[in-house]
Amino acid sequence: MSLRDAWDVQAAEWTRFARDPLGDRWNLDFNIPSFLELVPGPRRRTLDLGCGEGRLAAELARRGHRVVGVDSSPGMVAAASQLVEAAVADAAALPFEDDEFDLVVAFMSLQDMDEPEAAVQETARVLEPGGRFCFAVPHPITLAGRFESREPNARFVIEGSYLLPRRCEDVLERDGFRIHFVAMHRPLEAYVLMLAAAGFLVEALREPRHPTNPRWARVPLFLHVRAVRP
């Protein structure tokens, strides 16, 4: 099953999880606020690439952005459309004109795309010169390894190669939710090479870690990047 299909089949459950304060707590509590610190203010038009159920696009709209979301999952777009303008579209073949946006964001979506390289190329095409591309992904190290136990001082272990891309799957079951996480692990270098191939220059990079969890305060959970199209 493609990454696209794996997320579409659980769109309803993901929406329930993402919108419940007991659900996607780490994204709600600190990943989204941290990411928004990197995002420029509203100007002409903003694209949310891989918008999912629409929570980030809705927050950008509240901050004054004229935002449109796109996602390959009809189920996700149906949920996002309750909050903002959204459309079903392939990130690797965007239905927009050249230079149509001054800002593109991709929050926790590039790792779930089957063709992220093409998506980054398309992002560069629809951005105006001087436009920014901001994205967040699980930090590559978190997909490559895991802690040996739940003890605060547990060792973090990577089995196999950090450098080789591979599909990662995990199931979260708690508080009445069941989410099947599916993503591609890619090393940090792979994301930088995608940006370079599309002509982007990296302007800022952050590695947020959990503010209170003793294990995840030692290892970054997410990777945030802001790049500019010269």
Domain boundaries, the chain: 3-139+187-228
Region at 131 (left for phi over 0; alpha for psi -120 to 50; beta for the rest): beta
> 121-131 pLDDT, tens per residue?
999 999 999 99
3-state secondary structure of 208: coil
> 97-125 pLDDT, tens per residue?
999 999 999 999 999 999 999 999 999 99
* Percent residues over pLDDT 90 in the chain: 90
Does the pLDDT of residue 3 top 90, yes or no?
no
Does the pLDDT of residue 216 top 90, yes or no?
yes
116-126 vs 188-197: helix crossing angle, rounded to 10: 40
- Residue 20: both structure tokens together: 């419940």
The pLDDT confidence band at residue 22, using thresholds 50, 70 and 90, is: confident
- Which of residues 23 and 63 earns the better pLDDT score? 63
CATH number (3.20.20.80, 1.20.200.10, 3.40.50.150, 3.40.630.30) of 3-139+187-228 reads 3.40.50.150
Q: What is the DSSP string of 75-122?
A: HHHHHHTTTSEEEE--TTS-SS-TT-EEEEEEES-GGG-S-HHHHHHH
| Predicted local confidence at residue 21, as pLDDT | 87
| Predicted local confidence at residue 26, as pLDDT | 86
* Distance from C-alpha of 94 to C-alpha of 156, rounded to nearest angstrom: 39
Please name the residue that has the structure tokens 């989204």.
32
Q: What is the mean pLDDT of residues 76-90?
A: 97
Q: How far is CA 66 from CA 44, 102, 103, 229, in A?
A: 7, 11, 10, 20
- Which of residues 227 and 21 earns the better pLDDT score? 227
Name the nearest CA neighbour of 104 among 40, 49, 62: 49
* Distance from C-alpha of 110 to C-alpha of 158, rounded to nearest angstrom: 22
| Predicted local confidence at residue 6, as pLDDT | 87
| Predicted local confidence at residue 58, as pLDDT | 97
| Predicted local confidence at residue 183, as pLDDT | 95
Q: Which helix (H) or strand (E) holds 43?
A: none
Supply the pTM of this predicted model: 0.95
Does the pLDDT of residue 148 top 90, yes or no?
yes
End-to-end, the C-alpha distance of the chain in Å comes to 37
* Cα torsion 225, 52, 116, 66: sign: negative
| Predicted local confidence at residue 11, as pLDDT | 93
